[in-house]
Amino acid sequence: MVTHHQTLNSIEELEIIDGSERELRGWLDDERIDLALTTLRSGTKEVRQERLSRENYVLMTSTHHRLAEAKMVRGEELAQDAMIIRRHCEVLAATSRYFTQRGVRPNFGIKTTNDDRAMAMVRAGLGVTVAPASFRDPEIRQIRLQDFDLHREIGLVYSARSHALAAGGSAFVETVRRFMTDTEKQIAALARFEDTQPETGKVTQHPPGRGRGRAAPATRAGPGEIGQAVQR
């Protein structure tokens, strides 16, 4: 996204700040940044936000997991699996309720706020996790959980003084819009393709360190992962 923006020869000067969702919201209120690419909270009356994409939460397993070839699994089928907990996940409480309502109290492989670490443990087969569908990885299998219909919306939130950027004139804002729209379309296309594939009912083994040739990882545009400041 930033690389593409640099090819536009824009006069905008970018300063990119990484922070949690709470930090980004605070910086916006204090007008320390002009805009943030972050999770949009449902039910908010915030007028300075712009929805860009929507994605589902799915179960993530390694490609050699016993359920890796399933299209959908029941929560009860994961009773013996270690769970990789993403402590900053927006739907952590709802995910916990989903499993406990089904009598599942999984062991915790690790609790972390680092998504890269969580995904590395999933790839290694040390546990499973629930994460947004944009967390694509060729060595991780994404599977729908039965009766688990949670999703999140990603978008831009503007500071009070920078709301005019939404009206146009910012090359970087246009780049973000195109990038997020394209990412949403790619995720939807991959999901439709996977739905057409037969469920084999067996697990295909792969040599260590190799995946199944699935789609390349998409750039993660997660909650509080990127704070964008556009300075004129």
Q: What pLDDT is stored for residue 10 in this prediction? A: 78
Q: Which residue, 39, 84, 87, 80, is CA-closest to 59?
A: 84
What is the distance between the alpha carbons of residues 210 and 47, in angstroms, rounded to a whole number?
46
Please write the tens of the pLDDT for every residue from 166-216: 887 788 898 898 888 877 777 666 666 666 666 654 433 333 333 333 333
Q: CATH topology for 1-199+217-232?
A: D-Maltodextrin-Binding Protein; domain 2 (3.40.190)
Please write the tens of the pLDDT for every residue from 21-69: 889 989 998 999 999 999 887 666 566 889 998 899 999 999 999 999 9
Q: What pLDDT is stored for residue 202 in this prediction? A: 43
Chain Cα centroid distance, residue 91: 12
Q: What pLDDT is stored for residue 7 in this prediction? A: 76
HSE on the CB side for 3, CA within 13 Å?
1
Please write the tens of the pLDDT for every residue from 90-142: 899 999 999 999 999 888 889 999 999 999 999 999 999 999 998 989 999 99
Q: What pLDDT is stored for residue 190 in this prediction? A: 67
The yes-or-no verdict on residue 223 having pLDDT over 90 is no
Chain Cα centroid distance, residue 97: 20
The yes-or-no verdict on residue 161 having pLDDT over 90 is no
Residue with tokens 């994460």: 131
At 141, list the tokens: 């299998």
Contact yes or no for 1/178 (Cβ under 8 A): no
Rounded to two decimals, the pTM is 0.73
Q: What pLDDT is stored for residue 63 in this prediction? A: 96
At 105, list the tokens: 């109290």
What is the distance between the alpha carbons of residues 44 and 39, in angstroms, rounded to a whole number?
12
Q: What pLDDT is stored for residue 27 in this prediction? A: 93
Break the chain into its structural domains and give their ranges.
1-199+217-232
The yes-or-no verdict on residue 5 having pLDDT over 90 is no
Contact yes or no for 216/136 (Cβ under 8 A): yes
Q: What pLDDT is stored for residue 46 in this prediction? A: 62
- Residue 32's Cβ-count burial label (10 Å; 0-12, 13-18, 19+) is middle
- The residues, any chain, with a CB within 8 Å of residue 72's CB and separated by 6 or more, are 143, 144, 145, 146
Q: What pLDDT is stored for residue 162 in this prediction? A: 87
Please write the tens of the pLDDT for every residue from 61-92: 999 999 999 999 999 999 999 999 999 898 99
DSSP 202: S
DSSP 128: B
